[in-house]
Chains A and B, each alone.
Chain A
C-alpha cells in the first residue's frame, strides 16, 4: 500500500483501493451471500415471505438429489466440460510450445495479436457465427457439398451424443484461456534444458514428457482449471449451439430462475454446481499432484 501510495499518490491509491473493495464486496461477495442465504429458504408467494412458513431447510438441495434427470445433466456437464478441457489442451499445447520455443521472437507479438483478435468480438456474436456455420443448410454443409465431400447437409451440432455443437463452441471460446498459462509456463523454461535433453539422446516425445511437461505443469493445471470452470459455468454457448439431445447444467439453473421463477431452488443448484466443480477440480489436482500454490504462480 505504501509502495502504491508513493508511486501514484495517496488519493489515487485510495480511489483504486476503494473501487476494488466496492467491486469485490457489492458485486461479488454480497450477491453470493444473498443467493446462498435464499438457497436455504422455501420458494413462497411474496406475502408469505418472512411469515411462519419461511424457515431454513435443505429441501432445495434435496430437490436436485431426488431428480435423476438433473443428476444426469450435471454429470454430462462435467464429462463434456472435461472433454472441452482435453481438446483445448491438445490444441493449445503444440501452439504454446511453438510460440514459446520455436517461433522467431520478433514475430510472437504479431502472432498473439492474430490470436487475440477474435476475442474483440463478444462471446454471443461468436456463438451465433458458429450457429450459422454449423446449421443444417449453413455454409459448412454448402462448401462440403460443393467440394463433393458430402452429398447431403449434415446436422453438425447433433453429433457426439448431441454435444458436437457445444464442444466446438466451447473449445473455440475458451482455448486461449488454456494457451496463455501454457505459453507463459513454457517460456520460463531454459532452452538449454531442452537442448541438454536432446544432446543426451532424447527423442522429441521424451523431451516433452520428461522436461517440458513437468516444467509446464503449473501452467497446464491453471489452464485446465480455468477452461473447465468456464465451460461448466457457460450459458450462452450451450444454449445457442444446442441440439435436441444436449442439456447443460447452467440451463437447468436458468430454468429454475427464469422459467419457474424459483430463485431459491435455482440458487441451491448454482451452489451445488460450484461445490461439485470445486470437488472435481480438487480431485483432479490430487490425481496429477499439483498444489494450489503452483497454479497461482
Chain B
C-alpha cells in the first residue's frame, strides 16, 4: 500500500540560488512525516521534487526503493495536495474525486461508486453532486483529500493544505487528517510553517532552514532537545540570551553569568546563545540557591485560563518570559512587583548559532 521515500544528498539550484542543500532524509512507509520551516526554506521545493514537477540538480529520490529520476508526475505513485487545493471548479464534487480514475479509463459507474465510497471515508456523504463553489473551506479540504486518495497513491504530499482555514477548523482538520492517514496507512509527507501543526500530527519532523535540514526527529525530541539555535527558536518560545561560553557549564551574558548545559557541538570559539523555555522558568520572591536567578520586575501579566504568561524585565531592560500553569491557588503576580526570574541549569541549554552545517543527524 504505502511506500517509503528516500532523499539521498538532494540539492536543487535555481540559477545561482540553492533552494535545497544536500538533503538526506528517509521517510518510512506509512509514516506521517512533516517538513517544518519558515517560508523560503526549501520545503515546498522538496515536495515538488518528490512529486516530479522538478528534478533535483543533484542527488536521488527513491520512492518504494525505485529511483524516480526522469519519471513524470503522472507516472509517480504520489499525489500532491496543493496549498490552494486546485479543485476543478467546473466539475461537480464526484467528478473531481473520480478525475484520476477517469483519465485512467475507468468506467463511469465504477467511478461514481468509488467517489461515493471516498466521500464516506472523508465524512462528506451526500455531497457527490454538489458544485465545488457550494462547499465550505473544510469541505473542499476533504474533497481534495478524497480526490488524492482515489488514485490509491503510495505517498501523499500535502503542501500546507490547512493554512487557509480558520483556527477552529484547522485544529479539527489536523485530527481528521491524522485519522485518515492512520485509516489508509498511506505515507503522508506534510509541509508546514506551523510548528503546532507539525508537532501535533507527525510521527517525525524535519526542521528546515535556508535549504538545509537542521534536525529530523520525533516531535518530542525536536521540542525538548533542539540541536541548534535555529530549531530552538523556530519551534516554541524561548528566552534567548546572547553571550559567551566561559568554560564548560558557565555562560556569561549581560544579565549575569549562568550555570548551563552545553548542547551538541557547542565550543567556546563558535558563536552560541543560551535558550530557556518560558515554561521552565518561574518567578520567586527570593533568589533560589542552586538555580540561576535574575532580579526582575513584572511588566505585564496575561491570564489565559489554563496558563498564565508573565513578562518581566531585568536591570538591563531585557524581557523575560515565564509561562506557568494556573494552579488556582496562587494568584498571578501584580505588574510592578520586584521578583526573581529563576531557572534551572539543566533546562538552560547553550546552542550553536550555526545552521549552515547541520549537526550529525543520525545521532
Q: Which residue of A lies closest to B73 (CB)?
A: A199
Complex Cα–Cα for A196 and B102 (A): 14
Q: Which residues of A contact B102 (CB under 8 A)?
A: 210
**Size of the chain B interface, CB-CB below 8 angstroms:** 25
Is the beta-carbon distance between A192 and B84 smaller than 8 angstroms?
yes
A195 and B103 contact, CB distance less than 8 A: no
- Contact (A200, B79) CB under 8 Å given A195-B73, A210-B99, A210-B103: yes
- Report Cα–Cα, A150/B170, bound state, in Å: 71
B86 at the interface (CB under 8 A from A): yes
* A200/B74 in contact, CB under 8 A: yes
Q: Mark A196-220, 1 if CB is under 8 A from B, else 0.
A: 1111111100100011001100000
Q: How large is the interface on A (under 10, 10 to 19, 20 to 34, 35 or more residues)?
A: 10 to 19
Asked if B307 is an interface residue, CB under 8 A from chain A, the answer is no
**Residues in chain B near residue A195, CB distance under 8 A:** 53, 73, 80, 82, 86
Residues in A whose Cβ lies below 8 Å from that of B87: 196
Chain A at the B interface: SS class: helix
Contact indicator B104/A190 (Cβ below 8 Å): no
Q: Indicate if the CB atoms of B100 and A211 lie closer than 8 Å.
A: no
- B53 (CB) vs chain A CBs: closest residue: A195
Q: Could you say which of A196, A197, A210, A215 has the most chain B C-beta atoms within 10 Å of its C-beta?
A: A196
Q: Considering the chains assembled together, what is the distance between the CA atoms of A197 and B99 in angstroms?
A: 8
Given A195-B53, A195-B73, A196-B80, A201 and B86 contact (CB-CB distance below 8 Å):
no
> For window 113-170 of chain B, which residues contact chain A by CB distance below 8 Å?
147-148, 151
Instruction: Tally the A-B contacts, defined by beta carbons under 8 Å.
Output: 59
Bound-state Cα–Cα, A179 to B73, Å = 30
Which chain B positions have C-beta within 8 A of A199?
51-53, 73-74, 78-80
Chain B residues with CB under 8 Å of A206's CB are 103
Residues of B within 8 A of A196 (CB): 80, 82, 86-88
Cβ proximity bits B80-94 to A, threshold 8 Å, 1 near / 0 not: 101010111011000
Instruction: List residues of chain B with CB within 8 A of the CB of A214.
Output: 90
> Is A215 touching B90 in the complex (CB atoms < 8 A)?
yes
Judge whether B74 and A193 touch: CB under 8 Å. Answer: no
Q: What distance in Å separates the Cβ of A199 from its nearest Cβ neighbour in chain B?
A: 5
Interface positions of B from 10 to 55, Cβ below 8 Å from A:
51-53
Chain A residue numbers with a CB within 8 Å of B148 are 200
CA distance A200 to B87 in the complex (A): 12
Q: How far is the CA of A206 from the CA of B74 in the complex (A)?
A: 12
Cα-based distance from A148 to B257 in the complex (angstroms): 93
Residues of chain A within 8 A of B51, CB atoms compared: 199
A200 touches B90 (CB 8 A): no
Residue of B nearest to A209 (CB): B103
Residues of A within 8 A of B84 (CB): 190, 192
> Which A-B residue pairs are the 5 nearest by beta carbons?
A192-B86, A200-B100, A196-B86, A202-B103, A206-B103
What are 12 A-B pairs at a CB distance below 8 A?
A: A196-B86, A197-B103, A198-B72, A199-B53, A199-B79, A200-B99, A200-B151, A201-B74, A201-B100, A201-B151, A202-B74, A202-B99
Interface residues of A (CB under 8 A from B): 190, 192-193, 195-203, 206, 210-211, 214-215
Knowing that A196-B82, A198-B72 touch, tell me 10 more A-B residue pairs with CB under 8 angstroms: A192-B82, A192-B86, A196-B86, A197-B88, A197-B103, A199-B52, A199-B79, A199-B80, A202-B74, A215-B90
